[in-house]
Amino acid sequence: MSAIDSLPPLREVIAQHGLSARKSLGQNFLLDLNLTAKIARQAGNLSSCDVLEIGPGPGGLTRGLLSEGARRVLVIEKDRRCLPALQEIAAAYPGRLEILEGDALEIDPLAHLTPPIRVVANLPYNVGTELLVRWLTPPDWPPFWESLTLMFQREVAERIVAEPGSKAYGRLAILAQWRAEARIAMQLPPGAFTPPPKVSSAVVHLTALPQPRFPANPAILSRVVAAAFNQRRKMLRAALKGVSPHIEDLLVEAGLKPTDRAEQIPLEGFCALARAVERESQGKSG
């Protein structure tokens, strides 16, 4: 492990600050600074960007982002035990690291950031998925971020980039691919983390498109897709019964077969259905 900065190795930082990993906070730390610098590079050239990092922990990825030249990094960390270690990093990179303590699901970081903004994070699975869905479904587009570079369990990463017809295809694929370009940028074995998790991980890189691939209201699209995949083995006319009493007509209006199953429907079909549902709710349906 060669040094990427003048700060102590992460194992020393963890020992010095007593940062034993807590399962309840999903703490699996990356301690190899060459690896964290490599993850930071997946986010592209950061020299003219502010970076939002959620869950910095002892700061391995934070140090990667700063050593790779990020203009500024804002971190949000829930575990206050990590704050002294993060303050040491802030002192080594004067004026470039701001630390917020708290729950990323409850903090609005925008007042602390100047565009262009990129998001980079290695987060617990449930928090990561929740934040990803929020970042993908704001009412207006483009969003506050240019790109998201996020670590997930490999199985979740595969759901984000999945194509129609595959088992992994579902809500995450549709929401991600509707408004962004999504790809798996890196795969990591459990042994890359301390302590090692049970499963492999992958870094997903999403770039915001200037506008969604097809028009649709985000809230309606989310609702339709959630209902369709909640009962993914059922035909659409049954799975979507709760969306509208006239769902068969709306499916036909959207160019879909009421007997199709969610797994077969491409993104374009779900967007057409969301538009038909919206027209009906506005009383404009034929």
The residues of the shown chain that bind ligand SAM, judged by CB under 6 A, are: 25-30, 54-57, 60-61, 76-79, 82, 103-105, 122-124, 127
AA letter at 106: E
Least CB distance from residue 100 to ligand SAM, whole Å?
9
Q: Minimum Å distance from CB 219 to ligand SAM?
A: 24
Nearer to ligand SAM, 36 or 147 (CB): 36
Q: How far is the CB of 62 from ligand SAM (least distance, A)?
A: 7
Cβ atoms of 59 and 86 closer than 8 Å: yes
Between 194 and 231, name the residue whose CB sits nearer to ligand SAM.
Answer: 194
C-alpha 208 chain-centroid distance? 12
Q: How far is the CB of 181 from ligand SAM (least distance, A)?
A: 24
Q: How far is the CB of 6 from ligand SAM (least distance, A)?
A: 19
Cβ pair 279, 264 in contact under 8 A: no
Q: Which helix (H) or strand (E) holds 235?
A: none
Contact 57, 20 (CB under 8 A): no
Which CB sits closer to ligand SAM, 57 or 269?
Answer: 57
* CB closer to ligand SAM, 160 vs 225: 160
Whose Cβ is closer to ligand SAM: residue 202's or residue 247's? 202
**Single-letter amino acid, residue 137:** T
For 24, 39, 49, 109, 137, the CA distances from 65, given in Å and listed in that order, are 26, 8, 11, 18, 26
Strand-pairing partners, residue 74, are 52, 98
Strand, coil or helix: 117? strand
- Name the residue whose CB lies closest to ligand SAM: 55
